[in-house]
Structure 1
Amino acid sequence: MEFTMSKILPFYILSFLIVVSSSIEASDPSSSTTTSPSSAAAIISRFQQYLQINTAQPTPQYYEAIDFLLSQAKLLSLESQTIEFVPGKPLLLLKWPGSNPNLPAILLYSHTDVVPSEHNKWIHHPFSAHIDDNGNIYARGSQDMKCVGMQYLEAVRGLKASGYQPLRSIYLTFAPDEEIGGHDGAEKFAESEVFEKLNVGVVLDEGLASPDENYRAFYAERTPWWLIIKATGAPGHGAKLYDNTAMENLLKSIESIRRFRASQFDMIKAGLKVDGEVVSVNMAFLKAGTPSPTGFVMNLQPSEAEAGFDIRVPPTTDSESLEKRIAEEWAPASRNMTFRFKQKGSANDKFGNRMITKTDSSNPWWALLEDAIRNAGGKLGKPEIFPASTDARYFRRQGLPAIGFSPMANTPILLHDHNEFLNQDEYLKGIEIYESIIKAYASYMENIGENRESKDEL
């Protein structure tokens, strides 16, 4: 039940409180700034509210997050649609209609889920959104990637307040499950009839923080190959030496893989390449031995041994040669070895082209991004290949240009780490950057003469 103040306090007390409150606001120059929706304090407060919603896998509070985002969308008069390609995993789609709906639209993509945290290893609780004396906001998702989702909304708020009207329609997407592969979120969305009707021309997704003053932008990403190698051999007494045991053969493979990994890492250490340009290989598990109630049987050599590897493959790599190396060197049948992929992504889109967004004059979206960042007072570093995987791959798979970008300069890279934080000044500056980008993208008039059917109805 709701009660108004006038039902509780006598009228003369209520009047006195109103007068005092008005006097305080008039004498405090910061009070109007604090209460204004566009004030820094209000902007940071909304960011904290979003961060405080526990959307950590494996049990993200998706509906609480969607309710909060819908409340913000309503204040901004954005059209909205909530879609569940899989029950319990809502995807929120917001729309700011453009004046020319025939033009390809802009998709501002983000995900709502975050990775789990070891709470006892954080200096502040990962869902407290605590701000320290230096203005650092500590929270899971402060970098990956609730910051970007809220910066989109705040940029739209600022543009609307300025009276700006986009030429192209702008869509904001808040999707589930990116941190566990995006299969029930972005993948289904990108392949859906709903997405096709949006007539999207370009996608912005997440990037990485930059320790220096240059923002980072990503035009492609490495494809995950999750490899499992299995070795078999005759079991034997723990004291016996003989050739081709399962463990011996697996260890030979592990050593071969280690040397390959070192050769790739050496190129990074020498400054010849960056993370996204090399093939990374990291062992994820090693499984062998004969279990017993007291541990493992120590005097029995196992007949099977298995190891798993997380491999990340740049789109510039000759994938056929890499797979040949796996078959002939890492898991040769001649050593009683087999291999399989738990996951093996493709480097090509559905048209057979490499999933690389061009960064030259043939791609106007890249030039617009560069100019917009520069016009907002930012600096953009050399284009990069994202070292891990993001949901952008599902849109590149559809043949669309997709750029990974998170405006976080002068910030340590802390995604998935303990004590993830983003400084509030960097967050606020990022909103200015997005305002500039969104305005440049949504005002772009190239292809205005194309006779394309409108596909952007929600």
Structure 2
Amino acid sequence: MVKPNMRIFILSTRTLVFLTLFSITTQQEVPETSITRFQEYLRINTAHPNPDYSAAVSFLNVLAKSIPNLQTRTLYLTTPQKPLLLVTLPGSNPSLPSILFNSHLDSVPAEPSKWVHHPFSAVKTDDGKIFARGAQDDKCIAIQYLEALRNIILKDPEFKPVRTLHICYVPDEEIGGLDGMAKFVESNEFKQLNVGFFLDEGQASTTNQYRVFYADRSPWNLVIKATGMPGHGSRMFDNSAMENLMKSIEVVSKFRENQFDLVKAGVLANSEVISANAVYLKAGIPSTNGNFVMNMQPSEAEAGFDVRLPPTVDPDLLKKRIADEWAPATRNLSYHIVEKGPLRDYKGRPLMTATNDSNPWWIVFKDAVEACGGELMKPEILSSTTDARYLRQLGIPTLGFSPMKNTPILLHDHNEYLKDTVFLEGIKVYESIIKSLTSFEGAGPL
């Protein structure tokens, strides 16, 4: 017979054991899934100006090596601080041109105070939204590529593609790619890949259809500088620097207005016109108190413009317009253009990839998206710029695509997020695309 005080002791002991086991269970890590791996990658801060490329490459390298049959190489094309990870699934016919998928490692900066959740916490809310810088641009596809391969090989351990598939994770896309993709395409390592088709990032779609891009707009940094007579702030005279610059800004603004009218009227898409947006003004004579001297007119003034050109535009004609109308020397104006990336391919053709029956890669890609229940919108020119331009310059068929539908476009915005269901559906889309592209035997480079 158990005494009452002994019974209390036994019950207390059992309770303690139960609570201890419960505590251990609840403290265990959540089982690793595609979503948790996505969140883990999002928590690596690769935002400029100090992206942690080393941690990102290390994470992706381990993830790739956890998938059977994948090979990895880390390349250092500039400095040890800017690694490039190359993941490869060898094909059975290495003589065929390979497939190359791309994702950039870096992200734009984020302002934590403007976010509902910290931009590098990758919080998933009850409604499935995963908040993080890079959730859409473009860490989603970085993980989706690998998760799609994981699923393919899990379902069929003997899977062997005909064409070799490569995935590259490159640095510095958000700042022009000059130490990233631009260096990669010039390297011997890239030449040895024998790339026949390239798939890069796209953008979210707010509709039930996926967006796909056959070209990018090319960026120009335009600086217009004005000079003129300096003088007392009270004087009225012609040809001051500020007057000359303001006239120039008025001309550029009128051109911008005319281009924007075509967009508002539905004649052209935003990505099909030339945009010219003023991004800074610099003038005045600084005073000792941190302000400006108010009774002096400066002899110099300048303005900076972000100009974007669709591939259908003749860049020489725009340069002539700038010289004759926007910054004529007769008004004491000068200008300087920094062309950030190529405008034409090696044969002098506009940087565009055909999206019709003349391009067999397009047919295979389109059929693969539709085979898994997806639907594509009319192909577009991307209004911004990606690493895709460096491949199009080589004449390699290139598409921009990120499988995000029914999703607000939040790249570079506060509170960037991607829903878990959208992310998981994108993996299924890439499974179909990978199997179709790597089994296609009918085309070499166009």
TM-score by shorter chain over 0.5: yes
> Aligned-pair distance for 1:212?
0.8
The alignment status of 1:86 with 2:78, answered yes or no, reads: yes
| CA distance, structure 2, for counterparts of residue 276 and residue 152 of structure 1 | 27
> Which residue matches 2:267?
272
Change (3 A) 1:417 1:437: same
Question: What is the correspondence of 1:58-457 to structure 2 with a 5 Å cutoff?
Answer: 58-77=49-68, 78-87=70-79, 88-163=81-156, 164-294=159-289, 295-447=291-443
Answer whether contact 2:276 2:307 (CA < 8 A) is retained: yes
SS in 1 for 2:214: strand
| CA distance, structure 2, for counterparts of residue 391 and residue 378 of structure 1 | 25
| CA distance, structure 1, for counterparts of residue 181 and residue 340 of structure 2 | 18
SS in 1 for 2:342: coil
Answer whether contact 2:47 2:107 (CA < 8 A) is retained: yes
1:296-318 Cα distance to aligned partner (Å, 9 max, x none):
11111110110000000000012
| CA distance, structure 2, for counterparts of residue 193 and residue 353 of structure 1 | 25
> Aligned-pair distance for 1:349?
1.1
> Which residue matches 1:46?
37
| CA distance, structure 1, for counterparts of residue 350 and residue 249 of structure 2 | 30
Which residue identity lines up with residue 52 of structure 1 in the other structure?
R
Which residue identity lines up with residue 349 of structure 1 in the other structure?
D
Which residue identity lines up with residue 255 of structure 1 in the other structure?
E
Unpaired runs of at least 5, structure 2: 1-16
SS in 1 for 2:192: helix
Q: Which 4+ stretches in 1 moved above 4 angstroms?
A: none
1:327-370 Cα distance to aligned partner (Å, 9 max, x none):
01100010011101133543201222211111111111111111
Change (3 A) 1:447 1:370: closer
> Which residue matches 2:4?
none
| CA distance, structure 2, for counterparts of residue 68 and residue 301 of structure 1 | 56
Change (3 A) 1:239 1:110: same
1:71-121 Cα distance to aligned partner (Å, 9 max, x none):
111111311110011111000001000011111000011111111100000
Change (3 A) 1:93 1:345: closer
| CA distance, structure 2, for counterparts of residue 75 and residue 320 of structure 1 | 51
Answer whether contact 2:341 2:390 (CA < 8 A) is retained: no
| CA distance, structure 1, for counterparts of residue 94 and residue 218 of structure 2 | 34
> Which residue matches 1:57?
48
1:433-456 Cα distance to aligned partner (Å, 9 max, x none):
1111111100101048x9xxxxxx
| CA distance, structure 1, for counterparts of residue 361 and residue 443 of structure 2 | 13
Answer whether contact 2:360 2:443 (CA < 8 A) is retained: no
SS in 2 for 1:379: coil
| CA distance, structure 2, for counterparts of residue 447 and residue 334 of structure 1 | 55
1:152-211 Cα distance to aligned partner (Å, 9 max, x none):
001111111122321100001111111111111110001111100000101100000011
> Which residue matches 2:13?
none
| CA distance, structure 1, for counterparts of residue 58 and residue 146 of structure 2 | 14
Change (3 A) 1:369 1:118: same
What CA RMSD, in Å, does the superposition of the two structures yield over aligned residues? 1.9
| CA distance, structure 1, for counterparts of residue 341 and residue 87 of structure 2 | 30
Query: When the two structures are superposed, what TM-score results if normalisation uses the length of structure 1?
Result: 0.89
SS in 2 for 1:271: coil
Aligned residues: 418
SS in 1 for 2:33: helix
> Aligned-pair distance for 1:236?
1.0
> Aligned-pair distance for 1:269?
1.4
Answer whether contact 2:140 2:423 (CA < 8 A) is retained: yes
1:260-283 Cα distance to aligned partner (Å, 9 max, x none):
111111111122211210111111
Change (3 A) 1:97 1:344: closer
| CA distance, structure 2, for counterparts of residue 318 and residue 91 of structure 1 | 34
Which residue identity lines up with residue 282 of structure 2 in the other structure?
K
> Aligned-pair distance for 1:319?
1.7
1:137-163 Cα distance to aligned partner (Å, 9 max, x none):
000010000001100001111111122
Mean Cα deviation higher: 361-370 or 120-129: 361-370
